[in-house]
Structures are given as structure tokens and as C-alpha cells.
Amino acid sequence: MKIFGGKKKEKTEPLKIKTELEQICADDKEVYEALVDTMFLDPRKVGTSMEEAAKKAKEFEKSGDALEASEWYHTAAALAIYQGNIAKVKQFFEKCEELSSRKYPILKNPEKAVAKAQEYYQKYLKEEKKEEKKEEKK
């Protein structure tokens, strides 16, 4: 007998909405984990080029500032992902690992990760451009 009446509420799981990157990597959790903390979702907004980021990283490395150098190598590597440059992705993330205690899962299979990132960029950055053009016409 319930004193305050009413039915016992069933717990429901919150609705989980997958991000665009999760949807593209749905078949490969390892690639998703490799990309989620390494790629820029919209690298056009970064404000620097891969070459500039790599140059700054080398300057900080020469001056002995490993943390700042690692951050700039990370930026360069993320921009290399956007460009689809697998050799540079490897080079820059290897430098990040060398300068920091962090491990980068993307180095296990950079080819596959870059391919998924390119799929994301082709699908979602093109759609964004279409939306911007529609807004401009209004």
C-alpha cells in the first residue's frame, strides 16, 4: 500500500545524439577515439597555416619550451589531417609525443584516421558552405 499514491516512475535513459564525427566513425570506435582529440572540426577558422604552426613549434622547441612546442606541433598535425597529408600527421604527432607525456592513438593507423577525417570534411564543410551561400542570397 502506498501512502502518497502514484505509480512508480520508470527510469529512462537520456537520448544520446551522435555527433557528425561519431556517425562517420560508427563502424570504428578506435578511429573515432584517435580523431576526437586531434582534429579540428572546422580548420578554416584556425587562423594559421600548417607551415606557420610547424615553424612556431620549431622555434619554441629550440628555445626549450617543450609544452608550447608540443601545442604548436599538435596544431600543425591537426591542419595536416585537414589537408590529408599523412606523412606530416605522423611527423607532427610523433614530435608531440616526444615533447610531452601524451600518447596519440592516431599514430596506430593514421591512414585510416585521415581517411575518416576527410570523409567528415567533405560531407560537413561542404554542407556548411551551401548553408552560408543560402543565407547570403536572402
Provide mean pLDDT across the span 61-73: 96
pLDDT at 72 over 70: yes
User: Domain boundaries in the chain?
Assistant: 26-129
pLDDT given at position 125: 81
- Residues 60, 68: contact at Cβ < 8 Å? yes
pLDDT given at position 23: 85
pLDDT given at position 3: 56
Read off the pLDDT of residues 73-87 as tens digits, 9 standing for 90 and up. Answer: 999 999 999 999 999
Read off the pLDDT of residues 2-54 as tens digits, 9 standing for 90 and up. Answer: 555 555 555 555 655 668 888 888 888 899 999 988 999 899 999 999 999 99
Q: Write the CA distances from 100 to 73, 103, 118, integer angstroms.
A: 11, 8, 27
- Residues 68, 106: contact at Cβ < 8 Å? no
Cell numbers for 2: 502506498
This model's pTM is above 0.85? no
pLDDT given at position 93: 97
| Alpha-carbon gap, residue 50 to 122, rounded angstroms | 19
pLDDT at 132 over 90: no
59: pLDDT confidence band, cut at 50, 70 and 90? very high
